[in-house]
């Protein structure tokens, strides 16, 4: 088996260079002064030449060449495995991992139309000085045309914690100081969030959906409540160490709601009237744009519990309310997981002021009113996606559910304004938009949004308020741009159900059907990213004048970006995408054109065709298997070193390209097995074909590539995939 895998890997090496070459560096070109007069500095490694710009020096490692700018400008670093170099700004030191720089970068004062901004100097690229107002604007040059600003977007739409590098960013950051959020009267803007719970055991959900479970649920149906009725509720908040019971009494009821209030609270009766009356408005708004709730307990009403939430919250961050799917299951079933159920369709709303409310002023209960709509949407969403279809794995990605929940708050405001144009609400701006979400984006208090905090990765343990701000703005962009208006959210849910997807693909699919100029997720994400900076009153690159935001730029020359993360840079003249950016990080100018440079288009398309399943499978093997071990990383480095030569051989010899494609396609099942955690199965005769392919390549290869083919046969592939 060991010998077999060495042989398989040698053949795979011959083929996969077509894939990994997608991040080969542009400087690694065969050159002579006659062919490249603009790049007179020549460097040579053990097998080939490359060119550096005039005035720069060659940086060399054992796997490939790079060009470093003069030492007076950047710090040129080698990564911890010795595989390649990267730049740090002058005044910074190299970190212990690739792309990490430590210390403070130098700054310059940049005059841009509209004011003077302190920005970070980026090393490793040429700079151009251009007149700009009363002082000098310093920007970073590149090789592709941009106008005003560029955006970098991590186009990965998955809700995963992995990050990708922005690469060494060109230009300067549109950065201003951030701090506490205040409104125009100098009052603190409160920051509310709800709780996001870990999913229940899928087996529990499946049991609830079988015949016995359905009978158990029916038997647990609760009789209708009336004003004055009492009962206790199981709760466990963030500061609780154990489940506790809250005694509460029905204070108000309506056609679709029952309002319970914890007995220890004293809430004005007029406030309770407002809550139950406005819930009926919210019920209608959500019904028109999302759907209706699933009646768990047979009384055709949603229970609402106002109680003192023990979360230690303050005005800078507190739990305004929540919905928890566990209440749709029997207490006997959830108790097995250490969770208590109230066996009813219920939403929980904060009934006590968070600490520091005096800094906000005004009526807390009025401020928290729209949390009713927010949490009710979660309850409805759960019914549509999980309970009614009986799909244990049907829950939407968190960012989508939260996006729709916040959208219902704006829907409610728009309904109130439609009924009464003089309507006002403390926390509403313009024609119904949420002040706290927009202002949090603008302030970016923790600097996370500007540094690539992801739209689609819900970071409950990080700056979760940034997640709320991003999801809210993205949702409003959708509804403003869509021909369906606020109906786009129901379109997304319908797409999910029709296509059995629960993530960004449903958003992209629904958007493609109702937003002109959007066909893919990348189209949608980049257009929204540009809109946040451009704020155009018409077209895709703005919010149609309904609202505007002010993004900032990264605080460092290189940052790590979550899925759906965005970074902004100001540029003048030419700019190119960073060559060391992550696989899914793409850069666009203010007109939506993708910048040249960065990771080149995947060369696997030469044999497998563009963004095919097969090509993506090879990329997954490269990233998920190879780069997870020292040997795999070393092999990847060899790919980069010999990529240009191998691509040239394939381009020049059609029969070699066809032979490579044949071997690759027959090898893919074994790679898929490895990715799925199973033992690889190699088709009969494939080993001989791999050996023949290696011989074909070796016969045309340079001495350096021939040595690499021999070297790769001696690597114990078990250390990588077994």
CA distances from 406 to 206, 440, 630 (A): 30, 14, 45
Distance CA 227, CA 249 (A): 8
Distance, in Å, from the CA atom of 211 to the CA atom of 137, rounded to the nearest integer, reads: 71
CA distance 208 to 383: 14
Under the banding of pLDDT at 50, 70 and 90, the label for residue 660 is confident
Residue 503 has pLDDT above 80, yes or no: yes
Burial of 487 (C-beta count, 10 Å sphere; 0-12/13-18/19+) = middle
> Would you say residue 83 has pLDDT above 60?
no
pLDDT in tens, 14-28: 444 433 333 232 333
The burial class, CB within 10 Å (0-12 / 13-18 / 19+), for 34 is exposed
According to the model, what pLDDT value does residue 177 have?
A: 53
Query: For position 387, what pLDDT does the model report?
Result: 92
Greater pLDDT, 700 or 77? 700
pLDDT at 326 over 80: yes
Higher pLDDT, 591 or 677: 591
Residue 581 has pLDDT above 60, yes or no: yes
Tell me, what's the pLDDT at 228?
A: 96
Give CA–CA dist 77/61, Å, rounded: 11
Judge whether residue 63 has pLDDT over 50: no
Bigger pLDDT: 682 vs 30:
682
Cα–Cα distance measured from residue 219 to residue 201, given in angstroms and rounded to the nearest whole number:
22
Q: Is the pLDDT of residue 110 over 50?
A: no
Closest by alpha carbon to 657, among 603, 609, 705, 607?
607
Least confident of 35-39, 437-441, 475-479, 681-685: 35-39
Secondary structure letter of residue 626 according to DSSP: G
Kindly report, residue by residue over 514-550, the tens digit of the pLDDT: 999 999 999 999 999 999 999 999 999 999 999 999 9
Least confident of 171-185, 216-230, 323-337, 368-382: 171-185
């Amino acid at each position: 088996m060991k010998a077999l895998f060495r042989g398989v890997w040698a053949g795979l090496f011959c083929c996969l260079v077509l894939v990994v070459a997608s991040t080969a560096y542009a400087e690694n070109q065969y050159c002579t002064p006659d062919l490249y007069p603009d790049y007179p500095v020549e460097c040579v490694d053990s097998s080939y030449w490359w060119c550096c710009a005039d005035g720069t020096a060659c940086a060399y490692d054992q796997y490939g060449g790079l060009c470093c700018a003069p030492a007076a400008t950047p710090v040129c670093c080698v990564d911890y495995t010795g595989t390649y170099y990267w730049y740090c700004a002058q005044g910074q030191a190299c970190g212990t991992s690739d792309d990490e720089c430590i210390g403070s970068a130098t700054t310059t004062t940049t005059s841009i139309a509209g004011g003077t901004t302190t920005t970070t100097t980026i090393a490793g690229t040429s700079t151009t000085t251009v007149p700009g107002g009363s002082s000098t604007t310093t920007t970073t040059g590149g090789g592709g045309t941009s106008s005003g600003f560029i955006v970098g977007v991590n186009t990965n739409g998955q809700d995963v914690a992995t990050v990708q590098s922005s690469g060494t960013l060109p230009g300067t950051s549109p950065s201003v100081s951030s701090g506490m959020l205040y409104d125009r009267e100098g009052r603190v803007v409160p920051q509310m969030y709800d709780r996001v719970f870990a999913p229940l055991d899928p087996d529990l959900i499946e049991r609830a959906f079988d015949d016995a479970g359905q009978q158990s649920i029916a038997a647990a149906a609760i009789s209708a409540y009336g004003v004055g009725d009492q009962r206790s509720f199981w709760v466990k908040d963030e500061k609780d160490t154990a489940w506790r019971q809250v005694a509460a009494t029905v204070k108000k009821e309506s056609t679709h709601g029952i309002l319970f209030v914890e007995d220890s609270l004293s809430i004005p009766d007029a406030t309770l009237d407002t809550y139950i009356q406005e819930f009926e408005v919210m019920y209608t708004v959500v019904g028109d744009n999302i759907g209706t709730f699933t009646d768990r307990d047979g009384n055709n009403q949603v229970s609402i519990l106002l109680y003192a939430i023990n979360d230690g919250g303050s005005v800078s961050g507190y739990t305004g309310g929540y919905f928890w799917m566990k209440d749709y299951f029997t207490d006997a079933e959830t108790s097995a997981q250490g969770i208590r159920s109230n066996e009813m369709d219920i939403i929980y709303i904060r009934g006590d002021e968070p600490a520091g409310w005096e800094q906000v002023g005004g009526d807390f209960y009025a401020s928290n009113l729209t949390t009713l709509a927010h949490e009710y949407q979660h309850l409805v969403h759960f019914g549509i996606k999980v309970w009614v279809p009986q799909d244990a794995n049907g829950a939407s990605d968190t960012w989508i559910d939260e996006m729709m929940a916040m959208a219902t708050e704006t829907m409610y405001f728009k309904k109130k304004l439609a009924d009464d144009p003089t309507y006002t609400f403390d926390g509403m701006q313009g024609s119904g938009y949420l002040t706290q979400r927009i202002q949090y984006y603008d302030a970016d208090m923790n600097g996370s949004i500007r540094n690539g905090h992801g739209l689609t990765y819900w970071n409950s343990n990080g700056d979760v308020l940034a997640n709320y701000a991003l999801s809210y703005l993205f949702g409003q962009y959708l509804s403003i741009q869509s021909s369906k208006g606020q109906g786009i959210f129901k379109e997304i849910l319908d797409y999910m159900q029709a296509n059995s997807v629960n993530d960004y693909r449903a958003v992209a699919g629904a958007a493609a059907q109702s937003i002109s100029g959007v066909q893919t997720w990348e189209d949608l994400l980049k257009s929204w990213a540009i809109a946040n900076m451009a704020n155009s009153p018409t077209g895709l690159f703005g919010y149609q004048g309904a609202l505007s935001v002010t993004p900032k730029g990264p605080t460092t020359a290189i940052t790590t970006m979550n899925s759906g993360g965005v970074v902004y840079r100001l540029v003048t003249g030419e700019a190119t995408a960073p060559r060391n950016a992550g696989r899914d990080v793409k850069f666009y100018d203010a007109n939506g054109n993708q910048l040249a440079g960065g990771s080149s288009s995947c060369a696997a398309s030469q044999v497998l065709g563009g963004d095919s399943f097969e090509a993506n499978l090879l990329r997954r093997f490269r990233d998920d298997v190879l780069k997870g071990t020292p040997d795999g990383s070393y092999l990847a480095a060899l790919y980069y070193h010999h990529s240009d030569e191998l691509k040239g051989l394939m381009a020049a010899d059609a029969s070699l390209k066809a032979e490579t494609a044949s071997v690759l396609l027959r090898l893919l099942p074994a790679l898929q097995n490895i990715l799925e955690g199973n033992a690889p199965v190699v088709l009969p005769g494939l080993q001989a074909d791999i050996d023949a392919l290696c011989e074909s390549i070796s016969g045309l290869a340079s001495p350096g590539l021939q040595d690499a083919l021999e070297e790769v046969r001696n690597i114990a592939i078990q250390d990588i995939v077994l």
